[in-house]
Amino acid sequence: MRALGRHVLAEFYGCSPDILNDTVLIEQVMVKAALEAGAEVREVIFHKFAPQGVSGVVVISESHLAIHSWPEFGYAAVDVFTCGTTVDPWVSCYYLKRHFAAERMAAKEIKRGIFELNETKKGFAPQKSAV
């Protein structure tokens, strides 16, 4: 079986509240995490909530990285979804763990778009896209 993408759902605990509430810093770290994994960054959007918290997305050619932070709990929920075989989502996750000063990371990987080999032979192979 072949998967179109790998989706890592990561939770970061015991992070620095100051980091998790700094929109500019989170954006820089998320973009760098994508680049470290070999991704090509396309679009970036981040939003600061009042009184605290940041959400944002880094759109990459290979899919995306997304974050939602709760500085008051030292917690961040992150998705790293990559398509193809050239970008390893775990590289981004470990980069984020270090740069968020997280005490602990809990993460799991889900394969997305799983196809049987015989489906390809029947003409059901997915088309390549820029995403």
Catalytic residue positions, numbered: 63, 68, 83
Listing DSSP states for 22-45 in one string gives: -HHHHHHHHHHHHHHTT--EEEEE
Q: Is 37 exposed, middle or buried (0-12, 13-18, 19+ CB in 10 A)?
A: buried
* CA 41 to mean position of chain CA atoms: 12
What φ, ψ does residue 27 adopt, rounded to 5°? -60, -45
H or E element: which one contains 120? Answer: helix 117-121
